[in-house]
Amino acid sequence: MHSDTTGRTHRLMPMLLLALAIALTLAGCGVRADRVAPVAADPVAVPPATQVHFTFTGATSVAFDWVGGDSVLRYGLTTDYGQTQTAVEPTPLPTASAGPFREAELTGLEPDTEYHYAIGTGPDHTFRTSPGRSASSPSVTSETPRRTPGSPT
């Protein structure tokens, strides 16, 4: 009968050591929760905007439309931008693809002036406002936006 008790003790020893280690940790003898750096969640990558195009709606305004990507358009006279415009869902809603569709109108711009813009944290592009067209004669530009030299592809 003595050997049966010894066998059980040997089998229980690893579990007892584990329980002791857990108890010491919880009692503050191990790693303290307030000294452990929080683990940051993996950021969810926003896919880049596609089908970006803009329409000059006047000498001092331009409307941007795109599919997917971030809904914030940053713009300004330099790559520091300085201004943002949050896009809305356009009306009427296109049905050619799944979307999501975005539209942002910039107003109060200077005529015949080069502006930098980026959608979300995407690469820098530029456009030049119309040299003086009125709001009654809008024009659509569908060319590929120009990238600033040195910007990522």
Q: Are 100 and 145 in contact (CB under 8 A)?
A: no
pLDDT at 151: 55
- The least confident of 26-30, 89-93, 123-127 is 26-30
Largest CA distance in the chain: 104
| Helix, strand or coil, per DSSP, at residue 138 | coil
For the chain, give the mean pLDDT.
76
What's the average model confidence in pLDDT over 76-98?
91
Q: What confidence tens digit (pLDDT) does each residue in 61-78 have?
A: 999 999 999 999 999 999
Phi and psi torsions of 65, nearest 5°: -130, 140
Cross-strand bridge partners of residue 86: 72
Cα 92 to Cα 16, 72, 73, 102, 137, distances in angstroms: 69, 20, 21, 12, 21
Q: Are 65 and 101 in contact (CB under 8 A)?
A: yes
- The least confident of 53-57, 134-138, 147-151 is 134-138
Most confident of 60-69, 87-96, 142-151: 60-69
Q: What confidence tens digit (pLDDT) does each residue in 3-12 have?
A: 455 555 555 5
Q: What confidence tens digit (pLDDT) does each residue in 14-37 have?
A: 655 555 555 555 555 544 445 545
- Global model pTM greater than 0.85: no
